[in-house]
Amino acid sequence: MIDKNDIYVAQGYGQRLGFGRFPALLIIDLTNAFADPALFGGGNIDEAIAHTVPLLAAARLSGVPIMFSTHAYAADGIDHGLMVQKNHNLKRLVAGTDATAIVADLAPRDGELVLSKRHPSAFFGTDLLGWLSARNVDTVLICGCTTSGCIRATAVDALGYGLRPIVIRDCVGDRALQPHLANLFDLEQKYADVVPLRAALDHLAARSK
């Protein structure tokens, strides 16, 4: 649907970053609210969750740092920002409720960071950056949802902070296909490497040996 326009090739876009040496796994917003089409789910998000199961297992085996983000607000709404004005339904994402819990198939374990955020990027208004830096991370494997929202914003910030963003194509999803594909195009051309699950599993397996 989105053509890799000739102009992107001619102007030099779409080159590769490659994996660095110290990856971390960032699982973005795979909470019950984003698995539920009646809230913010739909599209291919269920497939992204299913494909993230083996990715999470491989990351655990290889011992890399693992972070889960959940998009959540205080029950009294005191921390609502402008983003909530673009979609009042975001108010339903109350911290500590079922809606904002990570989906059961990916339940976090002790020693894995669960980060509450209120903006698209997992870096924005959080101390994710310091947490990754303190662990010498130079590469972030990004999965979760939505491709056109929090995945993209997290990848763009990671790039700016000098962390190679690797978006795992099979493990990201969106409520609608067109924004999903359009944003994968932008990410691949300008901000991140977009790779299949297989490539991420191989990379993590090579580290585990």
Stretch that binds a copy of itself, among 24-32, 45-53, 97-105, 174-182 (CB under 8 A): 174-182
Give the residue carrying structure tokens 């662990």. 135
Q: Does 8 bind a copy of itself (CB under 8 A)?
A: yes
Nearer to a copy of itself, 119 or 201 (CB): 119
| Residue 38 CB contacts under 8 Å (≥ 6 apart), including other chains | none
Stretch that binds a copy of itself, among 3-11, 46-54, 55-63, 201-209 (CB under 8 A): 3-11
- The tokens for 2 are 């989105």
Give the 3-state secondary structure of residue 4.
Answer: coil
Q: Which residues pair with 117 in a beta bridge?
A: 71
Stretch that binds a copy of itself, among 23-31, 45-53, 99-107, 126-134 (CB under 8 A): 126-134
Q: Work out whether 169 is an interface residue with a copy of itself (CB under 8 A).
A: no
Catalytic site residue from 143, 145, 150, 171:
150
Exactly one of 118, 142, 170, 204 binds a copy of itself (CB under 8 A); that residue is 118
Among 98, 105, 125, 202, the residue binding a copy of itself under the rule CB under 8 A is 125
- Distance, in Å, from the CA atom of 205 to the CA atom of 127, rounded to the nearest integer, reads 29
Tell whether residue 104 is a contact of a copy of itself (CB under 8 A): no
64 binds a copy of itself (CB under 8 A): no
Which string of x and - marks every residue 129-168 that binds a copy of itself (by CB under 8 A)?
A: xxxxxxxx-x---------xx---x--xx-xxxxxx----
Residue 15 in the binding site for a copy of itself (CB under 8 A): yes
Place of tokens 């739909």: 42
> DSSP state, 31?
B
- For 117, half-sphere exposure in the C-beta direction (CA atoms, 13 angstrom radius) is 25
What tokens does 45 get? 């998000």
Catalytic residue check, 150: yes
Least CB distance from residue 78 to a copy of itself, whole Å? 5
Closest Cα to residue 189, out of 155, 154, 143, 149? 155
Rounded distance between C-alpha atoms, residue 122 and residue 158, angstroms: 9
x/- mask, a copy of itself, residues 180-199, rule CB under 8 A, reads: --xx-xx--xxxx-------
Over the range 96-113, which residues count as b (16 or more CB within 10 Å of their CB) and which as e? Answer: eeebbbbbeebebeeebb
> Are 22 and 168 within 8 A, CB to CB?
no
> How many residues contact a copy of itself, by CB under 8 A?
75
Residues designated as active site: 150
